[in-house]
Amino acid sequence: MKTFNLSLILLLISFIITFNGQNKENKIKNQDTFIISDNNPQDIKDLPYTRYHIKSGIVEYNLTGIQTGTETIYFDKWGMREAKYTKATITIFGMTKNLNTLELTDNDWHYSIDFDTKTGTKYKNDSLQIQAQKMETNDLVMIGEENMKKIGGEKTGTEKIVGKTCDIWKIGKIGAEIWLWKGISLKTYVNMLGMEMTNIATKIDINTDIPESKFIIPADIIITETTKKPSNRHNYYIK
C-alpha cells in the first residue's frame, strides 16, 4: 500500500509539473515573440495551445533523494512538443531500480519509453485541451494553475532558480512544493512517508533551436497503444 501511495503522489506531481504555470510577465504580439509575460493576457489568444510561456528551451536537472541521477527536457512549440530524458536510480524500501527513459509529449499524444527494455506505450491525453475549449482559452498554463488550486495548492513566495524568479507552490495534502517559472518546473520537492525526492534545474537555455532527433523514438522500440494513462511515471516504481 505504501508503494501505491507514493506512486500516486509522484504521478500527481508529474501531472501538475507538466501542465502548471504562473502569471505572465511580458507582452506578446505574435508567434515570433518567444516569451509570454504578464501584462496583457489577451495577447496569448493568437497563439496555439501553450503548455509553457516560453516557445522553446532545454532544461537540465539534478535528481536527489530516493531518486538520484539526471534529467533533461527539450521542448518547442510552447511546450506542446517535449522530450524528457531520465537517467537515474530509484530506491524504495531497500529495492533499487535503474531508469533509462524518455517521456515524449507531442500535442495530445504521450509516449513512455524504456530504452533498456526497448518497449514503450502511447496514449492520447487531450483532457486539458477539452478543458481549455470549455473555458474558451488556449492557455494551458493558466488551466494548470487553476487545477492546482483545486487540490489545495497555494503560492507561498518566490525564489530564484538558475537565475529565474519562480513562484513557489505548496500542496500540503501531498507533501509537495513546486517552483514554477512561466509554467516550467525548475524545482520540485516531495516528502511522502518520510521519503524525500528533489528535482532541481542546474541549467536552462531558452528560445533555442532543438534538434529534431530529440523527438524521434528509435525504430527498435516496440510501442503498445493504450486507452488510458499508465499508472506510474517513467516506470519508477518497483513492482
Q: What is the pLDDT of residues 196-232, one digit of tens each?
A: 999 999 999 999 999 999 999 999 999 999 876 654 4
Q: Which three cell numbers stand for residue 134?
A: 470549455
Amino acid occupying residue 102: L
Amino acid occupying residue 220: D
| CB atoms near residue 173 (< 10 Å) | 11
CA 208 vs CA 39, 46, 54: distances in Å? 24, 21, 10
What is the torsional sign of CA 133, 136, 137, 140? negative
Does the pLDDT at position 9 exceed 60?
no
Share of the chain above pLDDT 70, in %: 70
Which run of H or E residues covers position 211? none
CA 84 vs CA 49, 110, 140, 235: distances in Å? 19, 11, 19, 14
pLDDT recorded at residue 46: 62
The CATH number that domain 2-225 falls under is 2.50.20.10
User: Which residues are CB-contacts of 62 (< 8 A; sequence separation ≥ 6)?
Assistant: 70, 199, 200, 202
The span from the CA of 55 to the CA of 36, in Å, is 8
Cα dihedral 136/169/123/201 (nearest 10):
120
Q: What is the pLDDT of residues 61-80, one digit of tens each?
A: 999 999 999 999 999 999 99
Nearest to 74 by CA among 83, 66, 87, 65: 83
Beta strands in the chain (DSSP E): 57-65, 67-76, 81-92, 95-106, 109-114, 119-124, 154-161, 164-171, 176-181, 184-192, 195-206, 222-225
**Mean of pLDDT over the chain:** 80
Sheet holding 81-92, edge to edge: 154-161, 164-171, 176-181, 184-192, 195-206, 57-65, 67-76, 81-92, 95-106, 109-114, 119-124, 222-225
Q: Which three cell numbers stand for residue 151?
A: 487540490
pLDDT recorded at residue 127: 67
Q: What is the pLDDT of residues 179-200, one digit of tens each?
A: 999 999 999 999 988 899 999 9
The mean per-residue pLDDT over the stretch 142-146 comes to: 76
Residue ranges per domain, the chain?
Answer: 2-225
DSSP secondary structure code for residue 193 in this structure: T
pLDDT recorded at residue 177: 95
Q: Which three cell numbers stand for residue 143?
A: 488551466
Does the pLDDT at position 89 exceed 80?
yes
